[in-house]
Amino acid sequence: MTTLHLGVLLAIAWAVLTMTFLHLKAKSYGIRKLYSKPAGDPAKGVVYAFTLGMAPWAKESVMMNLPSYGAGLAFHAGVLTALGLLPVAAFRLELPSFVLFSVRLFTLAGVVGGFVLLMKRLVNPQLRGLSCPDDFVSNILGSTFALLAFAWTLSPVAEVPWMAEAMLLLIYAPLGKIRHCLFFFTTRYHLGAFFGRRGTFPPGGRFHA
């Protein structure tokens, strides 16, 4: 393991520790006590929130922007795949050919999805007006990370810039909007539990855990 790999491991440790702190800080606000009688099952609401509740037909905003939804899925899949490649590179592991093909496919799709969303944010005046510097920095870090991971699967020459970019991404993650990789699960859980208790998740009782 090289010094560069050690730097990535330290960046991972930083991201994990700071994310844990943020999670504990959010939990410190406590849980609101609900006095009304439950009309449904919170557990079924949580299952729905993480499954069919994320389907395009369950969200009106998504149905109106299916290309962006697809680009977002590709972007996140590519970044997650690139993250999964880090230990492969650090420990010099060999990937089977079919796995390597899938990795290249997902990381390349992530690059395309990320830069498509970035261009949409730049070109669309409404999105540009709603955006802040963090939106652009987070996208560029994620897209470039996936791009360099893809390049690494083609040539080991890309390892140094990829590892350097990985450190930047991991150090920045708890400081900007990338930390939604943690709070997505927290907020989604509470959303499902709350509306499951109210009997509105799953809607109309169509979903059964």
Give me the tens of pLDDT residue by residue for the chain, a chain 209 residues long: 678 888 999 999 999 999 999 999 988 888 788 888 898 999 999 999 999 998 888 877 777 788 889 999 999 999 999 999 998 988 888 899 999 999 999 999 999 999 999 999 999 998 899 999 999 999 999 999 999 999 999 999 999 999 999 999 999 999 999 999 999 999 999 999 999 999 999 987 554 44
Peptide bond into 96 cis (omega under 30): no
Model-level pTM? 0.87
Residue 123: helix, strand or coil by DSSP? helix
What single DSSP character describes residue 94? P
pLDDT for the residue numbered 209? 43
Cα–Cα separations (whole angstroms), residue 1 to 6, 60, 89: 7, 48, 9
Alpha helices in 42-96 (DSSP H): 42-50, 60-63, 66-90
User: Residue 164 and residue 151: Cα distance in Å, rounded?
Assistant: 14
pLDDT for the residue numbered 208? 46
pLDDT for the residue numbered 35? 83
Instruction: Pull the structure tokens for residue 164.
Output: 């350097």
Q: Are 209 and 53 in contact (CB under 8 A)?
A: no
